[in-house]
Each structure stands twice: as C-alpha cells, then as structure tokens.
Amino acid sequence: MATPSYLRDLNPAAFWAGITVFFWYAFAGIPLHLAVAAQLKLSPGETASWVLIVWLTSAAASIGASLFYRIPIPISWTIPGII
C-alpha cells in the first residue's frame, strides 16, 4: 500500500510548527472567545455552540485547503490577528 503524499511531507520541523500553533490557539484563541462570550452574556450552551462552529469549520477548511495546495493555509485567525 502506498504512503499518502501528505504523510511523506511530515517532518520534525512541520510537526513542531503544528504543535506550536496548536498551543497559540489553545491559550490565546479560546480564552479570547470565552471573554467575548461573557461580555455578550451568552449561555454556556450558546458559547459552546459558537466556539465549536467557529473552530470546527475553520479547521476543516484549513486542513482541506492545506492538503489540496500542499502548503499551510490558515482559514481562521492568524497569530498577529490573535495578538
């Protein structure tokens, strides 16, 4: 069975870049969404739905575009956009 092309592109630099971005989003993006939800007085259910929709759709689009074009393409926020 042939190895998928996207697995051949995985290397330590790409792996650690992905881990770094994950932590940036986890510790900057989610707290920002929660702060905005608190200001908007959203219920826990509304907040969970909002965060899930925003992050899941942008993640799916980013993964799909990145696999298709074979370069990282963030569809959601950029790191400077978070900061």
| Amino acid 83: pLDDT | 47
Confidence of residue 62 (pLDDT cuts 50, 70, 90): confident
Residue pointed to by tokens 């509304």:
46
Whether 73 shows a pLDDT value over 90: the answer reads no
| Amino acid 47: pLDDT | 92
pLDDT digits (tens, 9 = 90+) for 16-59: 888 887 887 778 778 888 888 899 999 999 999 988 888 888 88
Q: What is the DSSP letter of 29?
A: I
8 A C-beta contact, residue 21 and residue 29: no
Secondary element (H or E) of residue 41:
none
Contacts of 77 (CB under 8 A, 6+ apart): 25, 29, 58
Confidence of residue 13 (pLDDT cuts 50, 70, 90): confident
